[in-house]
């Protein structure tokens, strides 16, 4: 059996199914480029039949990515497969990923099909996809809750029809590691032609076991892991890339397999995903959480000073975590900025550098030391959010112990400037009320959180809002040394994301 484990990243597809995590095309392209540099074998770029926006994003990613395979998801229908192929056909290494459910629960209540009908659909879908490309993956949705003997029959038929990868998903995050590992062994032992395909697993984290299940599956012989950065994804999320890769990397004695991942790119990739989606990484998250390498207890610190091996099983540098560098100040020039951004992994065009440089100078006038986190926020706001409908042009707020809080806002809506002023319970409430009036929005603020991007009293405030309108949920992020401005930017970003979602509704079955 090969000792290579393929990493199939679905941050752009299953990851985008996290409530509120929609990304625009510029953001998806940026992330796809980062995933390619990270060394993932497959980038699942989206679900082209879901919306025009998804189709366009997958096509653009397919045109840009050269080293990783680019996959498009498709239900087991000719229409979906045509859409997926329409988008991925431009890729240097295109892949069609088609799926149908195989558990009796799904067959009875969702598909209203017999087991034989599902096999027919699967075979027809794989055969059709194979007529378009050699590279076809078949997934048995809800595989972990399917009858193992039936699952083996479906896989056997899919491989005979041309599937080069068969995927066993734990769609609802129900499996237990020992059980899932045994199921993988059973599938390998009882699918006669399994040697002609790679067996993949795709786990969800509803019981917090996605990584454990994936590792058990690899131990049992699976050779592809479907993962997302930071573990984002539908409901409780998917298996996280960084956890699987670092478990393999750190426990070679137990798992004698290899991936192609450049581990030093893990942390920058994690930052990019959280910056783009607005989904924060919990501080105690393994590998990429803010506390993952922080030693607090005195006894641990003492041990670390004597020898890091006492309490550290991985080096922070291995995952690309370097101490936040004190970098540029207001006298730094364009050249220094470009070279630092390149070190951070951002290759910007001259026009993009112009935008970042102007924002950097503005910030450096207000904040003595501009850190990596500040630059990332500038890039998120200045470069990645270029297709915005709403833009904050001006904000003035009065607040204090004796005045009624009032906000005056100028907003540009599709390039047309509009102004308004209104009151609120506090300066942030007044700001949000005014923006809502101008944008003619009924959105409900579900969550508001604020944190400091870096240390120091002049740190930028980073605000995250969660907005809901007409059943759609979007996250918005903004940062600025002035927390009211950061709040306004976050609210406007949330409205832009709602607007994007309205035009590009996410659909998964």
**Which residues in this chain contact ligand KIV in the complex, by CB under 6 A?**
14, 99, 139, 141, 167, 169, 171, 202, 204
Supply the DSSP symbol for 145.
G
Q: Which is nearer to ligand KIV, 168 or 483 (CB)?
A: 168
**Closest distance between Zn ion and the C-beta of residue 17, in Å?**
8
Q: Does 372 bind Zn ion (CB under 5 A)?
A: no
Q: Taking CB positions, which residue lies at the least distance from Zn ion?
A: 14
The residue among 204 and 223 lying less far from ligand KIV, judged by its C-beta, is 204
The pairs formed by 357-360 with CB atoms below 8 angstroms and a separation of 24 or more are 360/328, 360/332
Helix axis angle, 25-38 to 266-277, nearest 10°: 170
Q: Torsion angle of alpha carbons 257, 260, 266, 269, nearest 10°?
A: -140
Q: Based on CB atoms, which residue is closest to Zn ion, 237 or 478?
A: 237
Smallest separation (angstroms) from ligand KIV to the CB of 186: 19
Closest CB 171 distance from Zn ion, rounded Å: 6
- CB closer to ligand KIV out of 62 and 210: 210
The entry of ligand KIV, Zn ion, none near residue 141 (CB within 5 to 8 angstroms by kind) is: ligand KIV
Find which of Zn ion, ligand KIV, none residue 72 binds, CB within 5 to 8 Å per kind: none
Residue 33: contacted member of Zn ion, ligand KIV, none (CB under 5 to 8 Å, by partner type): none
The DSSP symbol for 305 reads H
Q: Which does 422 bind (CB under 5 to 8 A by kind): ligand KIV, Zn ion, none?
A: none
Angstrom distance (rounded) from CA 166 to CA 76: 14
CA torsion, ordered 263, 265, 268, 273, to nearest 10 deg: -90
CB of 76 to ligand KIV, least distance (A): 11
What is the C-alpha to C-alpha distance for residues 368 and 280, in angstroms, rounded to an integer? 26
Q: With beta carbons less than 8 A apart as the criterion, state whether 100 and 80 touch.
A: no
Evaluated on CA atoms 43, 47, 49, 50, the torsion sign reads: negative
**Tokens linked to 77:** 């229908």
Least distance to ligand KIV from the beta carbon of 482, Å? 41
Please, what is the minimum distance in Å from the beta carbon of residue 218 to Zn ion?
A: 18
Tokens of 137: 């993956």
Report the alpha-carbon distance of residue 369 to residue 388 in Å, rounded: 29
Q: Among 10-18, 282-290, 329-337, 365-373, which window interacts with Zn ion (CB under 5 A)?
A: 10-18
Nearest residue (CB) to ligand KIV, 71 versus 463: 71
Residue with smaller CB distance to ligand KIV, 158 or 498: 158
Taking the complex as a whole, how short is the minimal distance between the CB of residue 414 and ligand KIV, in angstroms?
A: 35
Give 440-480 as a DSSP string.
T---EEEEEEEEESSSSTTPPEEEEEEEEETTEEEEEEEEE
Question: To the nearest whole angstrom, how small is the minimum distance from the Cβ of residue 252 to ligand KIV?
Answer: 29
CB of 141 to ligand KIV, least distance (A): 4
Q: Which does 99 bind (CB under 5 to 8 A by kind): Zn ion, ligand KIV, none?
A: ligand KIV
CA pair distance 221, 211, nearest whole angstrom: 15
| Nearest residue (CB) to ligand KIV, 15 versus 268 | 15
Look at residue 434 and give the partner it binds from ligand KIV, Zn ion, none, a contact being a CB closer than 5 to 8 Å depending on partner kind. Answer: none
Q: Which does 139 bind (CB under 5 to 8 A by kind): ligand KIV, Zn ion, none?
A: ligand KIV
| Token couple for 47 | 């679900």
- For ligand KIV, the closer CB: 99 or 346: 99
Of positions 14, 54, 141, 374, contacts Zn ion by CB under 5 A? 14
Chain centroid to Cα 117, Å, comes to 34
Structure tokens at 483: 């927390």
Question: Minimum CB separation from Zn ion for residue 442, in Å?
Answer: 32
The interface mask with Zn ion, positions 189-218, x = CB under 5 A, is: ------------------------------
The DSSP secondary structure of 361-374, one letter per residue, reads HHHHHH-S-EEHHH
- 191 contact, one of Zn ion, ligand KIV, none, CB 5-8 Å limit per kind: none
> Of 7-15, 63-71, 119-127, 364-372, which part binds Zn ion (CB under 5 A)?
7-15
C-alpha closest to that of 206 among 244, 241, 237, 167: 237
Across the strands, what pairs with 448?
Answer: 465
Q: Which is nearer to Zn ion, 14 or 54 (CB)?
A: 14
CA pair distance 209, 207, nearest whole angstrom: 5
Nearer to ligand KIV by Cβ, of 14 and 499: the residue is: 14
Nearer to Zn ion, 236 or 327 (CB): 236
CB of 208 to Zn ion, least distance (A): 16
Looking at residues 461 to 480 of the shown chain, list those that interact with Zn ion (rule: CB under 5 A): none
Question: What is the smallest separation between the CB atom of 18 and Zn ion, expressed in angstroms?
Answer: 11
The rounded distance, in Å, linking the Cα atoms of 14 and 81 is 18
Pairing relationship of beta strands 42-46 and 69-75 according to DSSP bridges: parallel
Q: Using alpha carbons, select from 235, 236, 213 the residue that is nearest to residue 226.
A: 213
Angle between helices 483-503 and 52-64 (to 10 degrees): 100
Q: DSSP string spanning 144-186?
A: GGS-HHHHHHHHHHHHHTT-SEEEEEETTS---HHHHHHHHHH
Tokens matching residue 339? 């070279």
Residues binding Zn ion: what is the number (CB under 5 A)? 1
Q: Based on CB atoms, which residue is closest to ligand KIV, 74 or 363?
A: 74
Comparing CA positions, the residue from 49, 38, 48 lying closest to residue 9 is 38
Interaction site with Zn ion (CB under 5 A): 14
């Amino acid at each position: 059996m090969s000792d290579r484990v393929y990493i199939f990243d679905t941050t752009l597809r299953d990851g985008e199914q996290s409530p509120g995590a929609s990304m625009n095309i510029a953001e998806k392209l940026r992330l796809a480029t980062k995933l390619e540099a990270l060394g993932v074998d497959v980038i699942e770029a989206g679900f082209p039949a879901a919306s025009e926006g998804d189709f366009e994003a997958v096509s653009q990613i397919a045109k840009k990515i050269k080293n990783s395979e680019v996959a498009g998801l498709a239900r087991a229908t000719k229409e979906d497969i045509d859409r997926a192929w329409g988008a991925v056909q431009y890729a240097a290494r295109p892949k069609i990923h088609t799926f149908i459910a195989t558990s009796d629960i799904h067959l009875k209540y969702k598909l209203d099909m017999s087991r034989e009908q599902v096999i027919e659909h699967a075979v027809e879908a794989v055969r059709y996809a194979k007529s378009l490309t050699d590279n076809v993956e078949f997934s048995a949705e809800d595989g972990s809750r399917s009858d193992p003997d039936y699952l083996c029959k479906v896989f056997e038929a899919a491989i005979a029809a041309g599937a080069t990868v068969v995927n066993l998903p734990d769609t609802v995050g129900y499996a237990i590691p020992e059980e899932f590992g045994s199921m993988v062994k059973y599938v390998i032992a009882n699918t006669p032609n399994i040697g002609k395909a790679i067996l993949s697993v795709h786990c969800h984290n509803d019981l917090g076991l996605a990584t454990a299940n994936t590792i058990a599956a690899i131990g049992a012989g699976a050779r592809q892991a479907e993962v997302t950065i930071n573990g984002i994804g539908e409901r409780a999320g998917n298996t996280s890339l960084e956890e699987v890769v670092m478990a393999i990397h750190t426990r070679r004695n137990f798992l004698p397999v290899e991936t192609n991942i450049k581990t030093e790119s893990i942390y920058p990739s994690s930052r990019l995903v959280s910056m783009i989606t607005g989904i924060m990484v919990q501080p105690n998250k393994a590998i990429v959480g803010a506390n993952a390498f922080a030693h607090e207890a005195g006894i641990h610190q003492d041990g670390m000073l004597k020898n890091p091996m006492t309490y550290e099983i991985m080096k922070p540098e291995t995952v690309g975590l370097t101490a936040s560098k004190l970098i540029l100040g207001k006298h730094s020039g364009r050249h220094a900025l470009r070279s630092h951004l390149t070190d951070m992994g951002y290759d910007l065009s001259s026009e993009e550098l112009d935008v970042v440089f102007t924002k950097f100078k503005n910030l450096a006038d207000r904040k003595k030391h501009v850190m990596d986190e500040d630059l990332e926020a500038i890039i998120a706001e200045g470069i990645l959010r270029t297709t915005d409908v709403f833009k904050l042009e001006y904000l003035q707020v009065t607040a204090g112990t004796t005045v009624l809080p009032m906000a005056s806002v100028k907003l540009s809506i599709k390039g047309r400037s509009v102004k308004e002023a209104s009151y609120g319970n506090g300066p942030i409430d007044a700001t949000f009320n005014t923006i809502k009036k101008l944008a003619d929005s009924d959105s409900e603020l579900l969550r508001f959180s604020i944190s400091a991007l870096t240390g120091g009293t002049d740190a930028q405030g980073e605000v995250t809002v969660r907005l809901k309108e007409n059943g759609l949920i979007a996250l918005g992020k903004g940062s600025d040394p002035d927390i009211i401005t950061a709040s306004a930017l976050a609210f406007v970003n949330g409205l832009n994301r709602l607007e994007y979602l309205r035009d590009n509704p996410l659909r998964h079955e």
